[in-house]
Amino acid sequence: MSEREPPDPLAGLGERIDRARAERVREQATVGDRSAVQQGVGFGLRIGIELVVAIGVATGLGWVIDRWLGTQPWGIIVLFFLGIAAGMLNVYRAVSGIRAPVGFRKLDGEGAAGGARPDAWDDDEN
């Protein structure tokens, strides 16, 4: 009568852990995809309005200045073009992923905010 050994609880444990890990990585990859899509949609909604509002607000400001100083039509003309420039600047910055929306310099990642921060908007570029 041979003594039957109880099954080793640790047998195959490493394999099981590996399998679970692989599954988890795969899961995270799909989650990442989804949040990239979500960010893309948010990004699109954000860009769409940027240019229009910039031009509208600037032109409105020009109109107010004109009425205030009596300089028709120069305020509207000048501020209309400045508004186009400002709107394009905002769109360009948002698209190119420069962190600091105002001011032409890039924020250096290591000094400013602790290492390479994952850029929320960069996901759409690849």
The site for other proteins (CB under 8 A) is made up of 38, 41-42, 45-46, 49-50, 53-54, 57-58, 79, 82-83, 85-87, 89-90, 99-105, 107, 112-114, 117-118, 120
DSSP code for 101: S
C-alpha–C-alpha distance, residues 77 and 50, integer Å = 20
φ/ψ of residue 5, rounded to 5: -80, 140
Nearest distance from residue 41's CB to other proteins, in Å? Answer: 6
Nearest distance from residue 33's CB to other proteins, in Å? Answer: 16
| Residue closer to other proteins (CB basis): 22 or 49 | 49
**Do 43 and 121 meet the contact criterion of CB atoms below 8 Å apart?**
yes
**Do 125 and 43 meet the contact criterion of CB atoms below 8 Å apart?**
no
Nearest distance from residue 76's CB to other proteins, in Å? Answer: 14
